[in-house]
Amino acid sequence: MTKVRTRFAPSPTGYMHIGNLRTALYEFLVAKKDPEGVFILRIEDTDQGRLIEGATDIIYNTLAQCKLFHDEGPDVGGNYGSYVQSERMKSGIYKEYAEKLIELGGAHYCFCQEEDIQAQRELAEARGESFIFHDPCKSLTIEKAKTRISNGESYVVRQNIPTEGTTSFDDEVYGTITVENSTLDEAILLKSDGYPTYNFANIIDDHMMEITHVIRGNEYLSSTPKYNLVYKSFNWNIPTYVHCPPVMKDEHHKLSKRNGDASFQDLVSKGYLPEAIINYIALLGWAPETEQEIFTLDELKQAFNVKRIGTSGAIFDIDKLTWMNGVYLRNMDIDTYYDTVKNYISEGVKGNYCHKEIAKILQQRVNTLSEIVEMVDFFDTYNVFDRELYTNKKMKSNPEVALSSLKAAKELLETLTNWEETTIHDEMMALVEKLGIKNGQLLYPVRVAITGKQFTPGGAIEISYILGKEETLRRLELAIQDLDK
């Protein structure tokens, strides 16, 4: 049995779009489902006008962050290099294969200028017909075409499409698709500057690198019949196709880098973990056989099956990703978690407080890393706040209740000689019982008083312990004075 070989073939044109990253993930999972499978990275940089400096490094870094390690590629080598299309072009392989395809009858030289094509387009529009270019150069013999080339005429190489009949292909997601050949345009394969088009270079490279499975977006469904005609002209094996539904911004619009939608780098900068992003995008269009939603990458390798990919677009739900990211943070052991959040805590807390204790109270409440700075800013800054913050129906608290509770709490805490979290807890709970009130009627006002916030990452007892006795009592006194006015 032939071992599975897949390739992720991005263009270095900017940040990693979520749809592209999902393609890389699916390519990786299909390869790694086979114990001997090979996942390849190929850089497709033949569209020189769209290249962005540093974008190739972004591709490398993104795959590394997501642990989608490639077995072959420009940076790790392999037996099928070069793995950069512009370097492959310099060897002349695309021109060589274009000329072979012409000899096999699958393509022809075309000398038409843009005005010739535009004239046909305008005529089709005037007739209300869809435009397909009918190339008069198709009737030229190879000998006549080569004579014109030797005379210095500029040319492109166009594909030959049969005018009759149909072309079919099988897709793992969409099944068998058949199209009328008359609806297919004879696209350019080799441009006048000698560069191959994306579609042609893709076919040649996939064949030469022995790619067995091609995973890509369903926008390529319409081009696939033309790819297959090239494969058949060369009598090459056709890869297994897996076309994926689009990732949608909403019901009507695709998620698009061009429209400024979030890239992988944007999400990481907003505090999302690479492993949570990968887990989430795996589920955008693919459904596991069970109700499980949280997967490690190793678990995805075992569970992934292309037959479970749907045909409908999957809407990117940032709230679902945020929830999933929170699950990942809460599932970390404390040391891993602290290493993950410590820089964010250091950014938000400059005072002499135990950052590891702060990390502990954050873990069960934070969903994204970018939330942390604002969640912990009260340790350094104690601002005046509206006394109505003490009003909370659920806690049965209001400014009057708060004033009474704060005075009692301050009086109690002043007597403590052992400022440990368990001691604070036990004494405060005893005070609740002594006063004959609900827990919230004491703890909620204390928490508000020492933080100045309605929502905090920890409760009154935990935060009092971290603040320390002196600072806790100072803040309680300021709050009491404010309520006593």
Rounded distance between C-alpha atoms, residue 432 and residue 206, angstroms: 72
How do beta strands 213-217 and 240-244 pair?
parallel
How do beta strands 38-41 and 5-8 pair?
parallel
Rounded distance between C-alpha atoms, residue 289 and residue 299, angstroms: 13
Question: Could you tell me the CA-to-CA distances from 170 to 23, 187, 215, 323 in Å, in that order?
Answer: 19, 22, 13, 37
Rounded distance between C-alpha atoms, residue 284 and residue 310, angstroms: 9
Among 15, 86, 19, 12, CA closest to 51: 12
Tokens 């135990």 correspond to: 354
Per-residue buried b or exposed e for 127-146, using 16+ beta carbons within 10 Å of the residue's own CB = eeeeeebebebeebeeeebe
Helical segments of 254-378, H only: 264-269, 274-282, 297-303, 318-330, 334-348, 355-363, 372-376
- Among 257, 270, 320, 453, which one carries the catalytic annotation? 257
Rounded distance between C-alpha atoms, residue 479 and residue 445, angstroms: 10
Per-residue buried b or exposed e for 411-431, using 16+ beta carbons within 10 Å of the residue's own CB = ebbeeeeeeeeeebbebbeeb
Tokens 């056989």 correspond to: 289
What is the side-by-side strand order in the sheet with 156-159? 107-110, 156-159, 188-190
Among 177, 179, 184, 182, CA closest to 199: 184
Rounded distance between C-alpha atoms, residue 448 and residue 389, angstroms: 7
* 32 has catalytic annotation: no
Among 15, 12, 38, 11, CA closest to 27: 38
* Enzyme catalytic residues: 257
